[in-house]
Structure 1
């Protein structure tokens, strides 16, 4: 993806202003920062911001953060938030120690295993960033998972992939929608009772997905991606086996949104840069600019 050198993406803004993506949105909503452009990814839009406007904000951030704190204290209660901030600081320290220990432990592993586990660490956090309202990051997740398949599936014991079957997605036709409304039923209720009709649109295996398990020694990571996304990654003669799992309606909920202490300990710019460095070894070009604002000014 091409990005104008005068524009910064959310990861660059976070790094320049020492804030989390949630606070980038807060700056935007508060009128401090304007969206000056967007990049279209397969999975969503990425906002872009003027680098000069971001640079002007750098000396103003202490005052802005103080105003946020006062506003939050008035809204939620100073005593309650003081306890929350104290807990968040402890969580941040814990995350930093966990991160340090993790990389110290894998430092002397064989190169292949070390690089894979490092990528898994950052992919784990990328997934949390994506779930916090940044769906464009799923483009990067897909590239990383596909590189895992190409490099490790059926070649060693580091990666196992399973297929988890989910329901088909159905969209009621206009006639069935009218019938549902006549019977005072929601569209979901009508589908449950009637199953729709032949004219209703069906997206087969819409809620099915693939599960990727990376395991080495005491380390285990588990990632998921939709069937539609990854179905062409596999050799038809060696398709991933089905995993016995209870069938359920709708989507599977895996993962969570990133929380503030985690975002401070493992910055978005670091996550993107490390994963793109990992992909570079496979000849895959970067999706997202990671040049720091200070470096851009030199």
Structure 2
């Protein structure tokens, strides 16, 4: 692995020019090291470096200044954002090492990202939500004094049969019957069957440590398998 200075020395260019190769996407960072003073060091694969035609690439960068300025501004923004994330994580680790419930703080941090991935990657959603449920259950068992719960009352699960007028309105609007129902356009003449009361209710888990606060939710019917005394919880309404 090569540092920025080593790449610069290999091609007899400046460190700034190496940064330009990175900023404009010609040279990929293979690894990022953090020093004890939390500065960032880029490391590059020597194979990637040797495959790069540095003089030609630097010439391309010089020949498109306007486009490069926009690219540089975008990459600088992304770098600042990434650095902010790393600083946040560093501060979180420092806090975790200084408080008794530090392990819980780190678990919450990763669970927050797991929850985000579950919403983003549909192909892994079932597995990730199952893992989220298992993690919250274990947290609830090990750290009950740090977790506050609340029941959030949600709407019922129903099936709607549209009346003839609403069916005609849906067809005239060019939308499916299901979409018409989801948009809450059904009228009082439509037939509504109750399938499961309070189906969309949630159990909320609130965790606060030091300057960090986390809120997680599970469907009521899933959390009820291991959360006791739900009727005695603080009650709220799902928004």
Tell me if both proteins adopt one fold, taking TM over 0.5 as the criterion: yes
Q: Aligned pair in 2 of structure 1 residues 189, 150: CA closer, same or farther (>3 Å)? A: same
Q: Deviations over 1:186-222 (max 9, x none)?
A: 2245664228425x35332232211111123333211
Q: Deviations over 1:210-269 (max 9, x none)?
A: 1111123333211112222212222247643212x4x65xxxxxxxxxxxxxxxxxxxxx
2:181 paired with 1:181? no
Residues 154, 198 of structure 2: 8 Å contact kept = yes
Residues 180, 190 of structure 1: 8 Å contact kept = no
Residues 162, 211 of structure 1: 8 Å contact kept = yes
SS in 2 for 1:193: coil
Q: Aligned pair in 2 of structure 1 residues 190, 119: CA closer, same or farther (>3 Å)? A: closer
Q: Aligned pair in 2 of structure 1 residues 179, 80: CA closer, same or farther (>3 Å)? A: farther
SS in 1 for 2:200: coil
Corresponding residue for 1:100? 90
- Distance in 2 between the 1:195 and 1:202 partners? 19
Over aligned residue pairs, what C-alpha RMSD do you find?
3.3
Q: Aligned pair in 2 of structure 1 residues 206, 79: CA closer, same or farther (>3 Å)? A: farther
Q: Aligned pair in 2 of structure 1 residues 196, 152: CA closer, same or farther (>3 Å)? A: farther
Q: Aligned pair in 2 of structure 1 residues 79, 178: CA closer, same or farther (>3 Å)? A: farther
Residues 96, 103 of structure 2: 8 Å contact kept = no
1:230 to 223, 226, 238: 223
Q: Aligned pair in 2 of structure 1 residues 188, 91: CA closer, same or farther (>3 Å)? A: closer
Residues 156, 194 of structure 2: 8 Å contact kept = no
Corresponding residue for 2:14? none
SS in 1 for 2:217: strand
2:210 paired with 1:217? yes
Number of aligned residues? 169
Residues 190, 196 of structure 1: 8 Å contact kept = no
Q: Deviations over 1:126-180 (max 9, x none)?
A: 1122222241311111111111222233xx2x1100011121232224xx36553
Q: Aligned pair in 2 of structure 1 residues 235, 97: CA closer, same or farther (>3 Å)? A: same
2:185 paired with 1:197? no
SS in 1 for 2:158: strand
- Distance in 2 between the 1:226 and 1:196 partners? 28
Corresponding residue for 2:134? 143
User: Whose relative contact order is higher, 1 or 2, with alpha carbons under 8 Å and at least 6 apart?
Assistant: 1
- Distance in 1 between the 2:221 and 2:230 partners? 18
- Distance in 1 between the 2:133 and 2:78 partners? 31
Q: Structure 2 stretches of 5 or more lacking a match?
A: 1-29, 32-46, 52-66, 174-179
2:151 paired with 1:163? yes
Q: Aligned pair in 2 of structure 1 residues 195, 78: CA closer, same or farther (>3 Å)? A: farther
SS in 2 for 1:172: strand
Q: Aligned pair in 2 of structure 1 residues 189, 87: CA closer, same or farther (>3 Å)? A: closer
2:109 paired with 1:121? yes
Q: State the TM-score, normalizing by the size of structure 1.
A: 0.48
